[in-house]
Amino acid sequence: MKNNNSDFKQQLIRRSFTLARKIIVLVDKFPKKRSAWVIADQLLRSATSIGANIIEAQAASSKRDFVNFLNHALKSGNETKFWLALARDLDSQLSEEINELLKEADELVKILGSSISTLRGKRKL
């Protein structure tokens, strides 16, 4: 069972890392305008925060701390979805690429939400 849990954590880390990397590549394609820069900055911060918080959770000192870090990752995932949707609506040339990233971000958010619910259900946190 521990092996499955470890595999799950590694897959979650890998997926969040890949999403962040793809978003870094995406924002370099944004137009060189002030509005795009603001969206790019927020998108980079939120997307990279997902994986960073998942990694931080691995070093949590308690189950409550672990859930808190996952919750921060969940919030960053939802924020990432917002910025991706806004970017897509402002630049139709990138909409197909952004839709794929939105799909992946949505899947990560669902996984994180489910994980948090499961952990909270096992023990009142």
- pLDDT at 61 > cutoff 90: yes
CATH code of the domain covering residue 35: 1.20.1440.60
Q: What is the pLDDT of residues 94-124, one digit of tens each?
A: 999 999 999 999 999 999 999 999 988 865 5
Q: Determine the Cα–Cα distance for residues 101 and 122; give it in Å rounded to an integer.
A: 32
Number of separate domains in the chain: 1
User: What residues make up the domain containing 113?
Assistant: 2-122
